[in-house]
């Protein structure tokens, strides 16, 4: 394996060091959204639920539930969310329990 690695280095091709070091390419991977509870209003949450084509967003009272397992990271919710959302940058999403992928985001915004 080391020989391949050295040959790769000589030719300018380097295998990722992940998981021992972060991979710089990870920043270019589309990731599920992150939302700001302080800017999230009920009306905005309803709009986000309506725009998500994968059904990954669900409103439960004062909580917006993001199902990371269903999210396709299409980012269609981000223009709607405006300042209340951005890509989370989390690509290490593996889970041993389906429910751990359902993330509750409190809706704390007062008005838009």
Q: Which string of x and - marks every residue 14-43 that binds ligand SF4 (by CB under 6 A)? A: ------------------xx----------
Question: Which residues neighbour 39 within 8 Å (Cβ) at sequence distance 6 or greater?
Answer: 83, 84, 109
Q: Is residue 105 close enough to count as binding ligand SF4 by CB under 6 A? A: no
- The residues of the shown chain that bind another protein, judged by CB under 8 A, are 1, 4, 8, 13, 15-16, 18-19, 23, 25-26, 29, 32-39, 54-56, 66-74, 83-86, 88, 90-96, 98, 100-101, 103-106, 109
């Amino acid at each position: 394996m080391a020989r391949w690695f050295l040959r790769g280095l000589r030719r300018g091709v380097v295998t990722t060091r992940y998981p021992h070091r972060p991979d710089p390419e990870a920043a270019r991977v589309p990731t599920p959204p992150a939302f700001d509870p302080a800017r999230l209003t009920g009306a905005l949450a309803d709009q986000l639920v309506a725009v998500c084509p994968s059904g990954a967003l669900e409103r439960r009272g004062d909580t917006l539930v993001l199902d990371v397992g269903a999210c396709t990271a299409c980012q269609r919710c981000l223009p709607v969310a405006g300042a209340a959302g951005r890509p989370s940058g989390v690509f290490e999403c593996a889970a041993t329990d389906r429910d751990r992928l359902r993330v509750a985001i409190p809706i704390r915004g007062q008005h838009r």
